Chains A and B, each alone.
Chain A
Amino acid sequence: MSELTKLTIAEARDLLRAGDVTAVALTEACLSAIDAADALNAFVHKTPEIALDRARAADARLAQGDAPAMCGIPVGIKDLFCTEHVPTQAASRILEGFRPEYESTVSAQLRDAGAVMLGKLNMDEFAMGSSNETSVYGNAVNPWRAGNDGAALTPGGSSGGSAAAVAADLCLAATGTDTGGSIRQPAAFTGIVGLKPTYGRCSRWGIVAFASSLDQAGPMTKTVRDAAIMMQAMAGHDPRDSTSADIAVPDFEAMLTGDIKGKTIGIPREYRMDGMPAEIEALWQQGAEMLREAGAKIVDISLPHTKYALPAYYVIAPAEASSNLARYDGVRYGRRAKLAQGDGVTEMYSKTRAEGFGHEVQRRVMIGTYVLSAGFYDAYYNRARKVRTLIKRDFETVFDEGIDAILTPATPSAAFPLGQMSDADPVSMYLNDVFTVTVNLAGLPGIAVPAGLDAQGLPLGLQLIGRPWAEGDLLNAAYALEQAAGFVSKPARWW
């Protein structure tokens, strides 16, 4: 296996600019790694011709000088991003054969910055899942294994293919999206960095919608510095998304000083869950100690409505999904069911949606339909939106009291075996997002940083939560944590 695929974005950028490596060589190395890693089922639509065309163009641009940081960097794109004339299915049967006539704003910005798209990445269907097991493409597989146990583990979800691809060095970085933890949980399960920016930092235009008030795109990378570089290229105002913020995007990489002296980091007591594994608790305390040694002040804080975040999320997200997914009707794009003699439009809709949507998506669309239906709208949907206001207020209160960032575990466990949760109640799968979902409800930036290994040798992550629009400061705190934790482990190659 070529060493080139192991490079970080920052290292590759410097080598490309110095002329020590070409974008074509880097891209070819990634394409070979991808072809040798079908067992991970991370890349589900490979685009080698597009990749090599873009790599050649990137080399030409680099030769002229003043190419942007992402120029010539091979990346994977989550299947949720519409990519022009390249299959885009959101890992769903209902979008079989869909080839968008347009490019999402985020993937277009990466393309225009010279990034090389290697292909589309596996994910949970419509980003609904925490284990990548709801995908029409089948499970993505975690490159990590527990000790000598050969059992296949989940890479997490919904951005499971992105996480597996970056952790296995199939690409230098990947895009993800995060509605309740779908960037941060898979990043933690695979020992990589995942950043969900402030709601509105990235345009949602051209990203298949799940829950529009919660969805955000973000980078999944090998290091915090890479997250800063890639975030820079993905962020910015877009007139085609009315919720994308028209505020300046700072130079995130320039803010990585590693100096957090005088910063105040909050430790929320409500995140200390009953039954939390001792290893996670210990890692959390070590993380706080590392930040203290780096000069930060560590204080206990309270976010009293934390417990209600998941139940509120499981009203709001399905409600928005039921509305967003109403467009999949078998008329304008995607799959249409075979109809029987005499079937009308209603049968066309209901048969198409029954065979096109997987079980979890059907369940969430129907839950959403129920909580929005006449007679239940106030009891469920409006109540959940009021609780959301209270959850956001909890964060505003601690930020007003001088907290700069909040440290929590990223996940309640390490990666679990694929299939382990198949007979479980749906709610037990939802608990994976217990530490991440508050951040989406409050619209805040959050980042998962790999911080250690558990007794089985599996990666564990910590999460830092920042003030709105303060991704630069958040990345700098994450950088300090990354330096102190010194996480360098890689999965042993078995695929």
Chain B
Amino acid sequence: MSIDRDTAAKVASLARIRVEDDALPALAEEFNAVLGFIEQLNEVDVEGVEPMTGVTPMRLKRRQDAVTDGDMQDKILSNAPDAREGFFAVPKVVE
């Protein structure tokens, strides 16, 4: 499996990270180095092995389906880069 420039561009776009065109070949090369290392996993016989979902066997706890907090709009907005009139503000989404 080898990652080319177009695949690198697609992955960057999926990850929502802007990568300039001239940086794509080097990025593709780095991906290939890491994926080459990961390819070793193909040597392992995993027939019939369950993929791990949680490392500690445990039953998740249940709790009452009740509201336990809230009413802290100021706190929630206190770190927003742009908050107006009690809302998070972002560039126009819908034309």
Contact = CB atoms under 8 A, between A and B. Distances in A.
Tell me if chain B binds chain A: yes
Contacts of B91: 339, 343-345, 347-348
Interface of B: 3, 8, 11-19, 27, 30-31, 33-35, 37-44, 46, 49-56, 58, 60-61, 63, 72, 75-76, 78-82, 88, 90-93
Nearest to B39: A311
B41 A384 contact: yes
Contacts of A385: 51-53
Interface residues of A, number: 73
A302 interface: no
A402 interface: no
Say what secondary structure dominates the interface of chain B: loop
A442 interface: yes
A370 B11 contact: yes
B14 A369 contact: yes
Contacts of B92: 344
A350 interface: yes
A326 B16 CA distance: 9
Contact of A373 (B11, B30, B31, B60): B11
A389 B81 contact: no
Nearest to B33: A425
Nearest to B3: A370
B72 to A, nearest CB: 8
15 contacts: A101-B75, A101-B76, A199-B55, A243-B54, A245-B56, A345-B91, A350-B16, A350-B17, A353-B16, A380-B41, A382-B51, A386-B50, A386-B51, A388-B52, A390-B49
B31 A367 contact: yes
Nearest to A97: B79
Interface string A219-255: 0000000000000000000010011011000000000
Contacts of B11: 366, 369-370, 373
A350 B18 contact: yes
A73 B30 CA distance: 45
The 10 lowest CB-CB distance pairs between A and B, nearest first, are A443-B55, A385-B51, A333-B79, A336-B81, A386-B46, A350-B18, A354-B18, A101-B75, A369-B15, A349-B16
A333 B81 CA distance: 6
A331 interface: yes
Given A245-B56, A344-B93, A390-B49, A312 B41 contact: yes
